[in-house]
Structure 1
């Protein structure tokens, strides 16, 4: 089912074969990105006031949501048999990767976080722990670049006219393609820079370098946008279902 077919009047969708989770996925991913930025900022400014258990619970909740939905979407091919198999890659695999990373961070903060925060240079201690996995995070960033390019080239992410709000741009599929691809690219930029961020923080005299600033800004901005976009989609997706049953 392509975009032109979806744009037909009287569109009917077999929702039993079209499950989608990118509503809750979007909010969880946005909260995870924003949470990482806030945690690092707190550790840099007032590490003694950081509650490791609280952040462990937060990342554990978000990681569980993203891992569960992402794993199901990744292993069930195609999840949306009605015509969107690329969603398995775009939303499923990326959510799975981010979710497992958040779960790993949750376990570490629960077991060792309080000890790390009491060290003379807590940010350096956390950075040394994160350095081995930074290669994988950088790789995920490159994957997000690939998704961004594919989104624009193949004009993905376009909503049908039956979907409230987003459907107003159905005649211009490139609009939503550029918007969503831009979000993926910005998150990818922060992920690609993450190894350099870790390298900046792992020394005793942690420096706020350009990669640190860029990663903080792009993850904070995209985190907020993903939360708002996911919240909006709870309305727009319900509306799409009602209009196409």
Structure 2
């Protein structure tokens, strides 16, 4: 198998890492607010902006140019590109909201106040109100992720070629990686579908938020580790197919 790597780009490595970190940041920030812990809104704004920018940039490029079609995987441009673009834009929107809120809070001297001095309940109410409209788009993308998961199982997608180290050892068992990646997509999708219910007026349902936390904690860790591992496996694939 020979691939002309000068004709295409494969960067779902950093996309996977950014996705995993983004999910974990959402879980962590939510837990801080729910427990009434100290938060620095500017710091969290920057934290969301970093993976948000990466996912928006790479997701938009993959969505608009279909680079993976040049090596025989056009469906992966949809699977990886479009959800990354959607998640990246939502993270950037959250980053802007956090930054604006941090600037709006000030002490009598006019300097930014330590966000710990603001009541946690007020912050929870504010961000629930801010996040409610975009949560409907998140839920719609959650349905899309469920569809991708179903396609992954039905068409046995995601199997690595035999030239790829580690993952390629399971090339003869396509359902193994198809089931693993599809399960990740399905869990992220389930959390996204439940998001509007967790932000409903009246405080939402804590049980729903707990389910989202479990779904995104598991997938956040696995996406991060899988993306980190792919830095080795994708380098090996490139070397083995040059």
Normalising by structure 1, report the TM-score.
0.90
1:215-237 per-residue CA deviation (whole Å, 9 max, x = no partner) reads 00010110000000000000000
Helix, strand or coil: the match of 2:70?
coil
Please give the alpha-carbon distance, in whole angstroms, between the structure 1 residues aligned to 2:102 and 2:171: 47
1:105 CA drift (Å): 0.5
Counterpart in 2 of 1:99? 88
| Match of residue 163 from structure 1 | 164
Residue 51 (structure 1) aligned with residue 51 (structure 2): no
CA displacement, residues 45-100 of structure 1 (integer Å, 9 cap, x when unaligned): 134x1010111001111111000000000010354312111111111000000000
For the residues of structure 2 that align with 1:18 and 1:72, how far apart are their CA atoms?
A: 12
**Count of residue pairs the alignment pairs up:** 230
The separation in 1 between residues aligned to 2:133 and 2:204, in whole angstroms, is 20
Name the CA distance, whole Å, in 2 between partners of 1:90 and 1:207. Answer: 31
The partner residue of 1:109 within 94, 98, 105 is 98
Match of 2:228 in 1: 231
C-alpha separation between the residues in 2 aligned to 1:157 and 1:141?
Answer: 19
The aligned residue for residue 7 of structure 1 is: none
Aligned residue in 1 for 2:109: none
Q: Which residues of structure 1 form unaligned runs of 5+?
A: 1-10
1:38 and 2:28 matched: yes
Tell me the CA shift for residue 113 of structure 1. 4.0
Deviation at residue 18 of structure 1 after TM alignment: 3.3
Find the counterpart in structure 2 of residue 21 from structure 1: 11
CA-atom RMSD in angstroms: 1.5
Pick the aligned partner of 2:217 from 217, 220, 228. Answer: 220
More deviation, 208-217/138-147: 208-217
| 1:211 alignment partner, one of 191, 208, 213 | 208
Structure 1: how far apart are the matches of 2:155 and 2:49? 35
Contact 2:10–2:67 (CA<8 Å) still a contact in 1? no
